[in-house]
């Protein structure tokens, strides 16, 4: 067991004034029956908690920290910018510079707007799609998360062809009835929904590689079919690349699947750990955004100079030769090492990884295709494994429905330490399972 008195005290204190003691639910460690660790600092691949425990960090703030924590160049760029004030609420050159850098890697984003979060980006993208098509219905997929947008916090109704139901109180049914939630990777579901609602669907929004039901990689035919059906029914295709943008490849999942969406949303990495979101796409659509067009979007801190600067530096560094190739190579050694260790102790364990993003599943099923498959994994074993690894200084996502992330700061020493810790944990797990 690792010392955790200071984190425990901090959690008790924060819980008195912040719901759940955290500012985002997953941080509360509820789904792993554990207490959250409060972080004091990070450097490179490591984070340190209030009790001075050191962890190899495979969350990286849920994706932004692709260079690792406290990258000197990024920090220096923020320091330089904030000396001239932290915000103006007026245009600066940095916004144009970041937009051009993004467009270079995401040519489908002919024009774009900055926001302060991924949620704002997807919310604005949905409004834009509804505005330009003058249609209300939208399609999303079970297991995909696009931020806490009312229209998108929707789970499948009794049948996927029926109306969606809110996945949170406080969201009007009158709103969610316009959202269809279909099965990921299921072409039939999709085709039926389009036929049934021909020319009523404003857009399809999808995580083109899913990272919010653990890491689920879509079938290429599925992605291509969405594009075809959107063309056929004049609906817009929105790729939510808040997580996958610059993560799975420099040009995101759209580079890997060679499929151009009409609108793309970005976040996380493009802010280098500072609050940023982006939505962008075809000029003919983006020029309908106010004040050029009638579709409203705004934001006090949209394009914040410090966030722009952090994003510019982060993208400049990850644009270096072989950055993603090296990242995926390192990740493949980690993932295959974990799999080998699990197999050694006959633990049912599957892996998925793309670029610098990964997932692992405690199940016999070796092809995880959708939310149901993830739901059928062994949650109890995940919880035990998570806590064993945390105790050994390995900081994985505290939920079996989250993806993991590696950075360019992780070394082969870190990878080998992680595999060693996993082997010890699988051994304990196997004794536990055999004793049952």
Q: Is 145 a catalytic residue?
A: yes
Q: By rule CB under 6 A, what string of x and - marks binding of each residue 134-173 to ligand KE4?
A: -----------xxx--------------------------
Neighbours of 158 (CB within 10 A): 8
Question: Residue 126, interface with ligand KE4 (CB under 6 A)?
Answer: no
Task: State which residue, 208 or 337, has the beta carbon closest to ligand KE4.
Answer: 208
Task: State which residue, 150 or 423, has the beta carbon closest to ligand KE4.
Answer: 150
Q: How far is the CB of 104 from ligand KE4 (least distance, A)?
A: 22
Give the DSSP per-residue string, 254-301: HHHTT---SEEEEEGGGGTTSS-EEEEE-HHHHTTBTTTSSB----TT
Quickly tell me which residue has 């920290």 as its tokens: 65
* CA pair distance 312, 120, nearest whole angstrom: 20
**CA-based angle 90:91:97, to the nearest 5?**
155
Give the three-state DSSP class for 104. Answer: helix
Nearest to 47 by CA among 59, 36, 64: 59
Size of the site for ligand KE4 (CB under 6 A): 19
User: Which range binds ligand KE4 by CB under 6 A, 12-20, 90-98, 106-114, 235-243?
Assistant: 235-243
User: Which range binds ligand KE4 by CB under 6 A, 65-73, 185-193, 204-212, 411-419?
Assistant: 204-212
Task: State which residue, 211 or 218, has the beta carbon closest to ligand KE4.
Answer: 211
User: Which range binds ligand KE4 by CB under 6 A, 118-126, 162-170, 300-308, 367-375?
Assistant: 118-126
DSSP 393: T
Please give the span between the terminal C-alpha atoms of the chain, in angstroms, as a whole number. 23
Q: Is 240 a catalytic residue?
A: yes
Residue 265 tokens, joined: 């949303």
Q: How far is CA 421 from CA 217, 339, 417, 425, in A?
A: 27, 13, 6, 6
User: Nearest to ligand KE4 by Cβ — which residue?
Assistant: 118
Kindly give, in sequence order, each residue whose CB lies less than 8 Å from that of residue 245, ignoring residues fewer than 6 positions away.
106, 252, 264, 266, 267, 268, 269, 270
Q: By rule CB under 6 A, what string of x and - marks binding of each residue 270-309 to ligand KE4?
A: -------x--------------------------------
Which residues pair with residue 353 across a beta bridge? 358
* CA pair distance 307, 102, nearest whole angstrom: 14
State the catalytic residue, choosing from 240, 262, 373, 414: 240
- Which of 193, 243, 248, 384 contacts ligand KE4 by CB under 6 A? 243
State the catalytic residue, choosing from 55, 145, 285, 345: 145
Q: Which of residues 402-431 bind ligand KE4 (CB under 6 A)?
A: 402
Q: How many residues does the chain have?
A: 436
State the catalytic residue, choosing from 137, 140, 268, 330: 268
- Which of 16, 17, 24, 91 contacts ligand KE4 by CB under 6 A? 24
**Where are the strands (E) in 142-260, listed by range?**
154-155, 165-166, 179-182, 201-206, 236-240
Task: State which residue, 267 or 359, has the beta carbon closest to ligand KE4.
Answer: 267
Question: Residue 267, interface with ligand KE4 (CB under 6 A)?
Answer: yes
Q: How far is the CB of 435 from ligand KE4 (least distance, A)?
A: 34
- Which of 119, 151, 185, 370 contacts ligand KE4 by CB under 6 A? 119
* CA pair distance 251, 368, nearest whole angstrom: 24
Nearest to 280 by CA among 249, 226, 236: 236
- Which of 29, 38, 58, 62 contacts ligand KE4 by CB under 6 A? 62
Task: State which residue, 255 or 426, has the beta carbon closest to ligand KE4.
Answer: 255
- Which of 4, 31, 71, 117 contacts ligand KE4 by CB under 6 A? 117
CB 218 within 8 A of CB 241: no
Question: Residue 212, interface with ligand KE4 (CB under 6 A)?
Answer: yes
Map 53-100 to HEC letters.
Answer: CEEEECCHHHCCCCCCECCHHHHHHHHHHHCCCCCCCCCCHHHHHHHH
Q: How far is the CB of 26 from ligand KE4 (least distance, A)?
A: 5
Task: State which residue, 255 or 402, has the beta carbon closest to ligand KE4.
Answer: 402
Kindly give, in sequence order, each residue whose CB lies less than 8 Å from that of residue 61, ignoring residues fewer than 6 positions away.
268, 273
Q: Is 268 a catalytic residue?
A: yes
Task: State which residue, 337 or 404, has the beta carbon closest to ligand KE4.
Answer: 404
Kindly give, in sequence order, each residue whose CB lies less than 8 Å from that of residue 233, ignoring residues fewer than 6 positions away.
194, 198, 199, 201
Provide the binding-site residues for ligand KE4, judged by CB under 6 A: 24, 26, 62, 117-119, 122, 145-147, 207, 211-212, 240, 242-243, 267, 277, 402
Q: Which residue numbers are catalytic?
A: 145, 240, 268
């Amino acid at each position: 067991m690792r010392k955790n008195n200071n984190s425990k005290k901090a959690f008790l204190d924060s819980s008195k004034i912040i719901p759940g003691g955290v500012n985002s639910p997953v941080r509360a460690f509820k789904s792993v029956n554990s207490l959250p660790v409060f972080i004091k600092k990070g450097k490179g691949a490591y984070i340190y908690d209030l009790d001075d425990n050191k962890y190899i960090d495979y969350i990286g703030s849920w994706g932004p920290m692709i260079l690792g924590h406290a990258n000197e160049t990024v920090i220096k760029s923020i320091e330089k910018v904030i000396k001239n004030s932290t915000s103006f609420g007026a245009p600066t050159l940095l916004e144009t510079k970041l937009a051009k850098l993004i467009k270079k890697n995401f040519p489908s984003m002919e024009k774009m707007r900055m926001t302060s979060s991924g949620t704002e980006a997807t919310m604005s993208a949905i409004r834009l799609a509804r505005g330009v098509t003058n249609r209300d219905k939208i399609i999303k997929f079970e297991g995909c998360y696009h931020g806490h947008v009312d229209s998108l916090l929707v789970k499948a109704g009794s049948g996927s062809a029926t109306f969606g139901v809110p996945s949170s109180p406080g969201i009007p049914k009158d709103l969610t009835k316009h959202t269809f939630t279909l099965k990921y990777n299921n072409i039939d579901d999709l085709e039926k929904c389009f036929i049934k609602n021909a020319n009523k669907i404003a857009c399809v929004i999808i995580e083109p590689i899913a990272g919010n039901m653990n890491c689920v990689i879509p079938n290429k035919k599925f992605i291509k079919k969405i594009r075809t059906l959107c063309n056929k029914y004049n609906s817009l295709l929105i790729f939510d690349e808040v997580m996958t943008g610059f993560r799975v490849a420099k040009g995101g999942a759209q580079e890997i699947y060679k499929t151009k969406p009409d609108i793309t949303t970005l976040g996380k990495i493009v802010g280098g750990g500072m609050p940023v979101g982006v939505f962008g796409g075809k000029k003919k659509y983006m020029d309908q955004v106010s004040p050029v067009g009638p579709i409203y979007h705004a934001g006090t801190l949209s394009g914040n100079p410090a966030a722009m600067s952090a994003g510019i530096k982060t993208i400049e560094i990850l644009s270096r030769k072989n950055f993603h190739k090296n990242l995926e190579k390192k990740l493949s050694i980690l993932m295959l090492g974990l799999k080998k260790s699990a197999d050694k102790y006959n633990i049912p364990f599957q892996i998925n990884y793309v670029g610098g993003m990964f997932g692992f599943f405690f199940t016999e099923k070796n092809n995880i295709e959708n939310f149901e498959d993830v739901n059928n994994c062994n949650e109890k074993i995940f919880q035990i494994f998570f806590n064993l690894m945390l105790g050994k200084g390995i900081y994985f996502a505290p939920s079996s429905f989250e993806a993991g992330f590696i950075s360019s700061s992780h070394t082969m020493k870190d990878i080998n330490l992680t595999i060693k810790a996993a082997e010890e944990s699988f051994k304990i797990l196997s004794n536990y399972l055999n004793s049952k």
